[in-house]
Amino acid sequence: MLTRLNQRFSSLLFSASPEVPTGLPATKRTMLAAINNALDTVLTKDQTACVFGEDVAFGGVFRCTDGLRAKHGESRVFNTPLCEQGIAGFAVGLASYGVTTIAEIQFADYIFPAFDQIVNEAAKLRYRTGGQFNCGSLTIRAPYGAVGHGGLYHSQSPEAYFAHTPGLKIVIPRGPVQAKGLLLSSIRDPNPVLFFEPKAMYRASSCDVPDDDYTIPLGKAEIVKHGREVTIIGFGLQLLSLDKAVTRVEKELGITCEIIDLRTIMPLDMETIEKSVKKTGRCVIAHEAPRFGGIGAEIAAKIQEECFLHLEAPIGRVCGWDTPFPLVFEKFYYPDENRAYEEIKRIVLY
Amino acid sequence: MLKVLLRSMSYSNSLSFTHPHALSIPTFQVINEDGLPNSSSSQYLSSVNKDLLTRMYKTMIEVQEFDTLYYDLQRQGLISFYMQNSGEEGLQVATAAALDLNDWIFPQYRELGVFFWRGFSIQQASHQLFSNVKDLGEGKQMPVHYGSKDLNIMTVRSPLATQIPQAAGLGYGLRLKKQNSISVCYYGDGAASEGDTHAALNIASTTKSQTLFVCRNNKYAISTNMKDQYGSDGIAVRGVAYGIHSIRVDGNDVIATYIATQEAKKLILEGPQPVLMECMTYRRGHHSTSDDASRYRNKEELEYYQKNNNPIIRLEKFLKHMGWLDFDPVEIQKETRDRIIKAKDIAKNEKLPRWEVMFDGVYNELTPELKKQKGELKKFLEIYGDKYEINRHS
């Protein structure tokens, strides 16, 4: 995985987004530096905002919170005990008081002790209280995804478990520019947001990230490449494999592909997806998470509901196999550019 | 900090295991089961007066009569579900009386006296039970899941103990914003076993949240008695294990509970630091209307708590002893019941909330998908609305 990243950096991962104003003063930043910058921005502008989690104080195991405690103080940037359910519960309570609350779960693989607090509490607080209370100022960040050697418990993509819960928003950036803009939007969105960061991207490379405060809207997918013959949908690090697969398939089959970065998993931007599939008539969805019950299944169901008469082929999916995420077998497990190429070709030639 | 480290780092040259009951926390009590002050109680009695205790008494009667009526109404099928407070009215009003409206409350579900004390009306509670259009919760949750933003009472929820780490978080927010108020969570001896309780005490301790943890040890979690719930010396000792000031109190002694809560709040704000208070009490009623406690409890135990260790009776005896009983308890009971019945009639006749409200509050505003789904249901109800009693909804 990391080798693939080092060999060739995808222009898609390091591209800007149309919502980001051009010509702004910018600095070369990796994804983790962009995230750090976003957190710094929030802590500077909102004097009671808090960032906390395990090992957050010294900068975090991935350095995302580096320097924040020294700059903003120990009452606002602090360590919690090693207890995800405590982190999440504490965060829900603090957010329900109106404090801008940014909690970190060290790995998405360890988010499950917090599942009850996220799914039964955070997601439902506004709803069940008749709007009297809410924890809209809550954001939970967690590194997710394959990293090359993570195995079962340092590689998971848990977005599907949470997408099945009404009341949550789920946001996943593909690159440094999106990480900053989407994280700022997530923090400011008046609903609890889960922000999953593709950890393989943290230090992958850097690109210009505007220094100013800017946001990328939630609930809006981005067409990162326009095309005519097939719609390819992905998010996060998958944009790298898809970029490579698409380059090959366009050359070999003489077609053009439209690539959509979802950016927000929940709520989905079906308008952009439907418009694209009605144009192309074909679709392939990619994600690292296991095939069964993954986000691809929901998107495929919705596409065939809304675009049935426009479809020229079944909707393809490139996903992890329905196994836990293995270590030595990662290369066989991971939906990479070759698997994506084969699936796109299959759907285009159907 | 260094002192604590050094103390815990002291060495011993003789091998011994610390006995689990090495720390045994006594139960603080001011008036005994006959409502009479103990010999050393006089120093505490100046904290209370006739008006305060009379208000406590009357609020307890409101809880008692509300419980009695609605338990029966559930049995008659008028409401779907109910949970009584019998036996715990004392700790509810006594703790509430020591707090003010700037303090935040995170109830479990057996704290009606806290709601009433703080101004949650009998009428408002009735609306919630009938899930009608006036329910502040928009009819979203089961009966007894009250909540009030105006009174800083976080809405009751069904999952146990989830409110406890939330109270720790909000207590931290109070500390962050330098407020002279505390967050208070209530939970039972059963909920005290949940992981969230451990998580909350630990994080409150390290972050020094302005949080009061009130455990209502009412001796039962549905049918599970204390002996199957924990091996420790109750819940109070656990606070000490997390580095938290802890106290055990006779929860059926309103004066002891009131004073302990006052002192706990002072201690919290002085720190700032959290405090744990275990109130010893007894759940005289069933767990809920879905339970029949006679299947697992004996009559003798129930009778003892009905007659000999009943917070309402103990307070009444104390008021008599002090010459402060200038009302007729029977009159108060009757008058209270009449008020509750009137409120019930009003609540019962209100419409149910508009069906559209089902889609409100998932997010701060409807997403495109929710708008679409709402549209689908609207079409469906245009055809089938009558089969779903749409006219009962406003």
Is A154 among the residues known to form the active site? yes
**Over the stretch B252-281, which tens digit does the pLDDT of each residue have?**
999 999 999 999 999 999 999 999 999 999
Classified by CATH at the fold level, domain A2-210 comes out as Rossmann fold (3.40.50)
> Is the model's pLDDT at B62 over the cut of 90?
yes
Is B16 part of a structural domain of the chain? no
Work out the minimum CA distance from B216 to partner chain A, whole angstroms: 21
What pTM was estimated for this model as a whole? 0.97
Q: Which listed residue (A154, A288, A337, A343) is catalytic?
A: A154
Sort out which chain B residues have CB atoms less than 8 A from A191's CB and list them.
363-364
| A84 in active site | yes
Q: Is residue B92 part of a domain?
A: yes
Q: What confidence score (pLDDT) does residue A202 get?
A: 97
Whole-number Cα distances in Å, A141 to A192, A194, A270, B93, B358? 11, 6, 25, 41, 29
DSSP, residue by residue, B283-335:
--S-SSTT--GGGT--HHHHHIIIIIS-HHHHHHHHHHHHT---S-HHHHHHH
The separation between the first and the last C-alpha atoms of chain B, rounded to the nearest angstrom, is 61
Average pLDDT, integer, range B104-119? 98
What is the rounded CA–CA span in Å between residue B330 and residue B332? 5
Say what the ipTM of the complex is: 0.96
| Shared domain check, B361 and B338 | no
Question: Which residues neighbour A131 within 8 Å (Cβ) at sequence distance 6 or greater?
Answer: B138, B360, B361
Q: What is the pLDDT of residue B1?
A: 53
Query: Residue A139: which of A94, A183, A98, A187 has the closest Cα?
Result: A187
pLDDT per position as a tens digit, B3-16: 555 556 789 999 99
Task: Please tell me whether residues B165 and B238 are part of one structural domain.
Answer: yes
Tell me, what's the pLDDT at B193?
97
The beta-carbon neighbor of A93 closest among B168, B198, B363 is B168
Provide the pLDDT for residue B11.
Answer: 93
- CA-CA distance, B321 to A66, in Å (whole number)? 65
How many domains is chain B built from? 2
Residues B338 and B368 in one domain: no
CB A51 within 8 A of CB A104: yes
Separation of alpha carbons B320 and B315, rounded Å: 9
Cis-peptide into B272, omega within 30 deg: yes
Q: Does B167 touch chain A (CB under 8 A)?
A: yes
Residue A242 · residue A212 · CB < 8 Å: no
What are the φ/ψ torsions at residue B340 (nearest 5 degrees)? -65, -40
Take residue A272 and report the two structure tokens written for it: 């952009």
pLDDT at residue number A1 = 44
Say yes or no: A332 contacts chain B, CB-CB below 8 A. Answer: no
Shortest Cα distance from A94 to chain B (angstroms)? 4
Average pLDDT over residues B316-343: 98
Interchain proximity B157–A120, CB inside 8 Å: yes
Helix (H) or strand (E) holding B350: none
Give the active site residue among A54, A72, A84, A121.
A84
Decide the pairing of beta strands A207-210 and A193-198: unpaired
**Is B148 at the interface with chain A, CB within 8 A?**
yes
Considering the segment(s) A222-348 as one domain, its CATH architecture is 3-Layer(aba) Sandwich (3.40)
Residues B335 and B362 in one domain: no
CB-neighbour burial class of residue A180 (10 A; exposed 0-12, middle 13-18, buried 19+): buried
Residues A81, B203: contact at Cβ < 8 Å?
yes
Return the structure tokens found at A283: 């679709």
On whether residue B155 sits in a domain, the answer given is yes
Q: Where are the alpha helices (DSSP H) in chain B?
A: 2-8, 42-45, 50-75, 89-97, 112-117, 122-129, 163-176, 195-207, 226-229, 236-241, 254-270, 299-303, 311-322, 329-349, 368-384
Domain carrying residue B384: 355-392
Do B377 and B253 reside in the same domain of the chain? no
Say yes or no for a CB contact (<8 Å) between B164 and A133.
Answer: no
Q: For residue B288, give the CATH number of its domain.
A: 3.40.50.970
pLDDT one-digit tens code per residue, B346-356: 999 999 999 99
Residue B243 lies in a domain: yes
Identify whether residues B233 and B143 lie together within a single domain: yes
Is it the case that residue B120 has pLDDT exceeding 60? yes
Both B242 and B281 in one domain: the answer is: yes
Task: Specify the pLDDT at position A12.
Answer: 87
Instruction: Taking each helix axis as running N to C, give the angle between helix B311-322 and helix B89-97, from 0 to 180 degrees, rounded to the nearest 10.
Output: 60
At a CB cut-off of 8 Å and minimum separation 6, what does B178 contact? none
Q: State whether the Cα torsion B291-B82-B113-B36 is positive or negative.
A: negative
- Structure tokens that stand for B165 in this block: 């780490």
Percent of chain B residues topping a pLDDT of 90: 96
Query: How confident is the model at residue B9, as a pLDDT?
Result: 78
Residues of chain A predicted below pLDDT 50: 1-8
pLDDT in tens, B228-255: 999 999 999 999 999 999 999 999 999 9
Of the pLDDT bands very low, low, confident and very high (cuts 50, 70, 90), residue B98 is very high
CB B366 within 8 A of CB B359: yes
pLDDT digits (tens, 9 = 90+) for B333-343: 999 999 999 99
DSSP A294: S
Among B363, B366, B370, the residue to mutate for chain A (most A Cβ within 10 A): B363
What kind and span of H or E run contains B246? strand B245-250
* Residue A166: φ, ψ to 5°: -60, 135
